[in-house]
Amino acid sequence: MNLTMWIWLGAAVAFGIVEAMTVGLVSVWFALGALCALLAAALGAPLWLQILVFIVVAAAVVLAVRPLIRKFRGGSIPTNADRVVGAAAKVTETIDNENTAGAVYVDGKTWTARSADGSVIPAGTLVEVRRIEGVKLIVAASEKKAEAGV
């Protein structure tokens, strides 16, 4: 075995160890690319071709596998907090993105809130929760009537 074969074998093992130590798929594509480059080295391919094989195989595996994983996993992992998205909320502290101020009351809890369009929303206004960013609700003025629990 020549030096490049040892390098590709070491790379495949290292990527495999990293993959085994992580929860998500992080480096399996590189491990497979390194194994294919090792095969190319064993067949006597020049270094530039080995590197090309590594890159092409790793990219092909990423392109082939990632969409399948997203399809089976569903893209995002929902939490209980997601149920407030689309709900009506009452502004309890004036929302002012520029001064990083604002809070809303929804689903029995008070949340830090920011305006979706950057406008100032006065306390007492009914808003609709558009999305969650970290621990902040992004809201917009709503035409909805107050719902139970708001």
Task: Examine the pLDDT at 149 and tell me if it is beyond 60.
Answer: no
Domains for the chain: give ranges and CATH numbers.
Answer: 3-73 (no CATH), 80-141 (2.40.50.140)
The pLDDT score that the predictor gives to residue 77 is 57
The pLDDT score that the predictor gives to residue 148 is 38
Task: Examine the pLDDT at 144 and tell me if it is beyond 70.
Answer: no
The model's confidence at residue 6, banded by pLDDT at 50, 70 and 90, is very high
Q: Is the pTM of this model over 0.95?
A: no
More confident residue, 31 or 75: 31
What 3 state SS string does 93-110 have? EEEEHHHCEEEEEECCEE
